[in-house]
Amino acid sequence: MLDLQKYSCLGAALRDALDRFASDTCLIEADRDREKVRLTYSDFKEISLPLARALEDADFDPADRAAILMTNQSKWLISAYAILYCGGVLVPLDYKLTAAEQLALLAHSKAEVLVVEYYLWRAIMQEPEFQNIKTRLVLVTEAPLGAELAGAFRWEDFKRKGAPDFVMREREDVACIVYSSGTGGRPKGCVLTHENYLEQCRSLTAWYPFWPGVRYLSILPTNHAIDFMVGFIGPFVCGACVVHLRTLRPEFVRDAFVRYRITYVSLVPMIVKNLERGLRAKFDELPAWKRVLLNQMIGINKTLTRGRPRVKLSRFLLPKVHRAFGGQLLALITGGAFMEPSTTQFFYDLGIPVVNGYGLTEAGTALTLNDLNPFRADTVGKPLPGVELRVISPNDEGIGEIAVRSKTVMSHYLDDPELTLETIVDGWLLTGDLGRFEKRGHLQLFGRKKNMIVTEGGKNIYPEDIETVFDGLPVKEYCVFAANYVWPQKELGREMLTIALRLEQNQHFDNHLLEEIIARNRRLPDFKRVRGYLVWEKDFPRTASMKIKRQALAEEIGKSKPREAVVGL
């Protein structure tokens, strides 16, 4: 890979990578069972530079901001490189937001340029606020010839001949403005510098290097901090290949693992959990003698890999399991939300390590990762090289707010000095997350500081911690709340914990499920026990990284159901 210490900006590192790995494949784009695009690094360069030249001719100046709003595809990365080549600032926007929300973030970011997918642009044009849009140049991908684009240009036609001038940026210059997935009504644009990304890439590849021949399956949105780093910057500076899917239907994702012999993939915990359910269901369908044999092989693998992963051995012992993932998978990478230890242990026992990590947009991508030396299912790993973590004001159990100091921490929040001063204090980023360190330096998480509940007896309760006891509950999803959080009563200390349940389609709440909840509840100390439940009829609202939006869910439940809807346990 490139020595990133020698570079002052992402554009320069990527430019050198395109030349160094010219003949290697950098991008594959597949739609269902059909491959649409396959590009070498040389091909990528030939497509990107005419776009950069056209931006240059359109008076796109260094430090101008350019938003990208599209699903995972080759044009996302091509556009990003062209923008960085011109010295511009990227503003990745979430395509899952509503058109009104996207317009609001466009206005907040003051983006001069927008690169947008056609179906998203059509939705934006229909919004009342569209008439106030101030973005001066819009490039629309995959727009039909002759389509009404309200003054925008077709991306495919926007190119010019001739070599564009490369614009060098400095490490302290802004590279990206990324909107935090925790954004509610107040936009939180995290201003990240070239140094933030270069240092983040160095620390991640120190533990998990990429190389030519590695194939990374890009499933998370590229606008998300994780996939922008490990699905674009990281693979490219190492000469690896990124595989994009234009569909996330499970059967085509499974096919992609096998067809492209995937090496790494990043997944949110919810998808990892779904994979576990699918595998367990297949195991349950096996004839009794095959199930006995499988369990024996899993047991042998557990014994021989207790200290560290031995992937080649695991592939030999459990060949069918590994062939289902393409036979080359080294690890599943996950983070962004809580991951049940039982799920990470399940995959590790099969010889497929789940690399659990912790991070936040304000700190680039990741702060901790499990280095698998040894494997720990109950933590989010150790601090990455160059990352300092500390626990502020720990209680008797060692739990306190996590603070971070690192070259990966953002510069500031866009146009919000007050929030910046509240969040970055004396060079330390206050994460708002609660955690503690174990003896070997591993970090354990206990939820968000704002979600912490103080009981009448002065005990601290963390809803996310309680939820671990209900891991594997046979429902679609669940969430633990303090009743006063959902239905404010202004009663300090007198909290009743409630579990909100979202059932599977056609599932009914029955005595078996009730008994399962009661049995798990008994495992908790009395002051932590859930005292009631309710069944919610809609899917829980989630962020781009698939975290449950607790506040939004609580507000929906509070408006739609009276407190009396809670059934006692």
pLDDT in tens, 282-312: 999 999 999 999 999 999 999 999 989 999 9
Cis peptide before 394 (omega within 30 of 0): no
- Dmax over CA atoms of the chain, in Å, equals 73
Give me the phi and psi of 429, to 5 degrees please.
-85, 120
How much is the pLDDT for 413? Answer: 96
How much is the pLDDT for 495? Answer: 66
Task: Domains for the chain: give ranges and CATH numbers.
Answer: 4-257 (3.40.50.12780), 382-451 (2.30.38.10), 452-568 (3.30.300.30)
pTM here?
Answer: 0.87
How much is the pLDDT for 261? Answer: 96
Rounded Cα gap, residues 438 and 444, in angstroms? 7
Average pLDDT of span 244-272: 88
Mean per-residue pLDDT over the chain, rounded: 92
Q: Is residue 34 scored above 70 in pLDDT?
A: yes
How much is the pLDDT for 463? Answer: 84
Tokens of 200: 């983040």
Q: Are strands 331-334 and 368-369 parallel, antiparallel or unpaired?
A: unpaired
Rounded Cα gap, residues 435 and 400, in angstroms? 6
Which region among 129-143, 244-258, 426-440, 512-526 has the lowest average model confidence (pLDDT)? 244-258
Average pLDDT of span 58-68: 97
How much is the pLDDT for 457? Answer: 58
User: Can you say whether the dihedral through the CA atoms of 219, 224, 230, 236 is positive or negative?
Assistant: positive
The number of helices, as runs of H, and strands, as runs of E, in the chain is 19, 28
How much is the pLDDT for 183? Answer: 40
Rounded Cα gap, residues 53 and 161, in angstroms? 7
How much is the pLDDT for 454? Answer: 66
Tokens of 228: 């922008």
Give me the phi and psi of 531, to 5 degrees please.
-105, -10
How much is the pLDDT for 550? Answer: 86
Rounded Cα gap, residues 451 and 447, in angstroms? 7
How much is the pLDDT for 107? Answer: 96
Note the pLDDT tens digit of each residue in 447-461. Answer: 888 777 766 556 678
Q: Is residue 565 scored above 90 in pLDDT?
A: no
How much is the pLDDT for 492? Answer: 44
Which region among 397-401, 498-502, 514-518, 526-530 has the lowest average model confidence (pLDDT)? 526-530
Rounded Cα gap, residues 130 and 98, in angstroms? 13
Average pLDDT of span 492-509: 83
Beta-carbon contacts of residue 169 (< 8 Å; ≥ 6 apart) = 8, 9, 11, 62, 87, 175, 194
Q: What is the secondary structure of 336-360 as a DSSP string?
A: SS---HHHHHHHHHTT--EEEEE--
Tokens of 563: 């407190």
Average pLDDT of span 259-268: 93
Note the pLDDT tens digit of each residue in 109-133. Answer: 999 999 999 999 999 999 999 999 9
Q: Is residue 185 scored above 80 in pLDDT?
A: no
